[in-house]
Amino acid sequence: MARPRKDQTIDIAGRAIQETVRLLGERDVNDLTMNEVASAVGCRAPALYNHFRNKNTLLRAVHDAGFQRLYADKLAVAARTGGDAFARLREGGLAYLRFARDNPTLYRLMFDPPPLPELDGNPFARDLGMKSLEFLRAGISACQAEGYLPDRDPALVAFTLWSTVHGAASLLIQNRAPLPVADAEQLIQTTVDTVMDMVASTRVDAG
């Protein structure tokens, strides 16, 4: 019996997504080739094309993986902060900005994915992006139960907070922030603390 080829014994699709994420940490998405990804995976290019019909299809899968990683970070925040809704909101903002700082090319891809005929370009049109947005809305609702942001629409507050951190993230990874890259962590913390100070000022005493 013939021995299976190496590319028949590995998870090509899963490895391709992982390796593409890694490679995007080193270069621009436009410079990445399918042959390069196949080499990183340890398979032949035709085997890779059996799973992803072209580069855009692979990048769309990586786009989805990016939102999965971001959502996993959010779940980790929830586990750390327990029932403290205010801390959950704050730590979630920090996690979001650090994710963008540490994965700039992946972050850009998540919000500007390659076009595919069967898929909408809106990151919230599918479950993966929407899960993160719903997580934020739930956090805002939990804060409202503790007296913060009274009488405000959680969906509109979520849009405001998301657009704030997304804007900060975009400026940061494009090197358009007012502080040097070396001070990125200071900028992240200051941005989130400023937003959270505004949220704290809306609290109505339960008594």
What structural domains does the chain harbor?
11-53 (1.10.10.60), 63-200 (1.10.357.10)
Q: How far is CA 12 from the centre of its chain?
A: 23
Distance CA 33, CA 68 (A): 23
Provide the whole-model pTM: 0.86
Distance CA 108, CA 42 (A): 27
Distance CA 45, CA 34 (A): 7
Query: In terms of pLDDT, which residue wins out, 195 or 125?
Result: 195
3-24 pLDDT per residue, tens: 445 555 689 999 999 999 999 9
Tokens of 14: 């899963």
Distance CA 112, CA 94 (A): 22
Distance CA 10, CA 196 (A): 46
Q: Given this model, what pLDDT does residue 80 score?
A: 94
99-121 pLDDT per residue, tens: 999 999 999 999 888 776 665 55
Measured CA to CA in angstroms, residue 183 lies from 108, 172, 195 at distances of 21, 10, 19
Tokens of 41: 């995976």
Query: Mean pLDDT for the chain?
Result: 88
